[in-house]
Structure 1
Amino acid sequence: MRNDPTHPADPVSGARPGRNVPFPSWIGVVLLVAAVLSMGADQREPDKDTTAIIEASYIYNIAKLVEWRDPVMRQGPFIIGVMGSDNLYRELVNKYATRSIGKQPIEVRKLPDLPEVDRCHILFVPGPNRELLPAILRQQNARSTLIVSDFPDALAQGAVVNFIPARNTLKYEINLSNAAKHRIEVGLTLRQLADKVVE
Structure 2
Amino acid sequence: MANRIFKVGYILKGTGLSAVMLAFALFFTIQQTRAQNKPALEYQVKAAFLYNFTRFISWPASAFNSPKAPFIIGIVGNDPFGSYLEDIIDQEKVDDHPIIVQRYHDIRDINNCQILYISAGDNNKIKEIIAGVAHKNVLTVSDADKFVNWGGIINFFKDDNKLRVQINTAAAKAAGVEISSKLLKISKIH
Q: Give me the TM-score of the superposition, normalised by structure 1.
A: 0.70
Q: More helix per residue: 1 or 2? A: 2
**Equivalent AA in structure 2 for residue 120 of structure 1:** C
Cα deviation, residue 118, structure 1? 1.4
- Aligned-pair identity (%): 23
Cα deviation, residue 62, structure 1? 0.9
Indicate the residue corresponding to 2:47 in structure 1. 56
Indicate the residue corresponding to 2:145 in structure 1. 152
Q: Distance in 1 between matches of 2:63 and 2:165?
A: 27
Indicate the residue corresponding to 1:32 in structure 2. none
Q: Distance in 2 between matches of 1:169 and 1:136?
A: 27
Q: How many residues align?
A: 152
Contact 1:70 1:183 in 2 (8 A): no
Q: Distance in 2 between matches of 1:197 and 1:96?
A: 27
Indicate the residue corresponding to 2:81 in structure 1. 88
Q: Distance in 1 between matches of 2:82 and 2:54?
A: 16
Q: Return 165-174 or 80-89, whichever deviates more.
A: 80-89
Q: Distance in 2 between matches of 1:70 and 1:109?
A: 20
RMSD value, Cα = 1.8
Counterpart of 1:109 (choices 99, 102, 125) is 102
- Structure whose alpha-carbon radius of gyration is higher: 2
Indicate the residue corresponding to 2:135 in structure 1. 142
Indicate the residue corresponding to 1:180 in structure 2. 173
Cα deviation, residue 67, structure 1? 0.8
Contact 2:115 2:140 in 1 (8 A): yes
Indicate the residue corresponding to 2:163 in structure 1. 170
Contact 1:66 1:185 in 2 (8 A): yes
Counterpart of 1:69 (choices 44, 60, 67) is 60
Cα deviation, residue 126, structure 1? 1.7
